[in-house]
Amino acid sequence: MPNIICITPDGQRTELQVTEGTSVMQAALASGLPGLNADCGGACQCATCHVYVEQPWADQLASMDETEDAMLDCTGEPRQPNSRLSCQLMVTTALNGMVVRLPAVQ
Ligand code: FES
């Protein structure tokens, strides 16, 4: 089962064991990790599941679609080149060890 590492703004590091095909957002909420609101439940309509994906994983992710790209212009904390919506990030074994940082504001 792939591990995804989430780092909160205060530096707390949480390792999530995620079933393949589950989104990073779903795994984070299931673990009780604070910092993701996911108000729309993963429908790519709220931008409250914003994360910053560390390299080298950011370059290995599937490209975002137009909807995710548009929603990333609505994040609470400024969009960066490595910004993604965690509900759109489906975990695969290739992403084992991926590190995502949570913004201070969603
Ligand atoms: Fe709403 Fe990801 S949960 S955009």
In this predicted model, what pLDDT tens digit does every residue of 53-76 receive, in sequence order? 999 999 999 999 999 999 999 999
| Pairwise pLDDT comparison (52 vs 35), residue with the higher score | 52
Structure pTM? 0.96
- What is the CA(54)–ligand 1 centre distance, in A? 19
**3-state SS string for 48-94:** CCEEEECCCHHHHCCCCCHHHHHHHHHCCCCCCCCEEEHHHCECCHH
Confidence of residue 13 (pLDDT cuts 50, 70, 90): very high
Distance 33 CA to ligand 1 centre (A): 15
CB 18 within 8 A of CB 91: yes
CB-based contacts of 104: which residues, under 8 Å, 6+ apart?
9, 77
Record the tokens describing residue 75, joined without a space: 């994040």
Q: For the domain 3-101, what is the CATH superfamily, name and number? A: Beta-grasp domain (3.10.20.30)
| Residues shown for the chain | 106
**What is the separation, in whole angstroms, between the first and last Cα of the chain?**
28
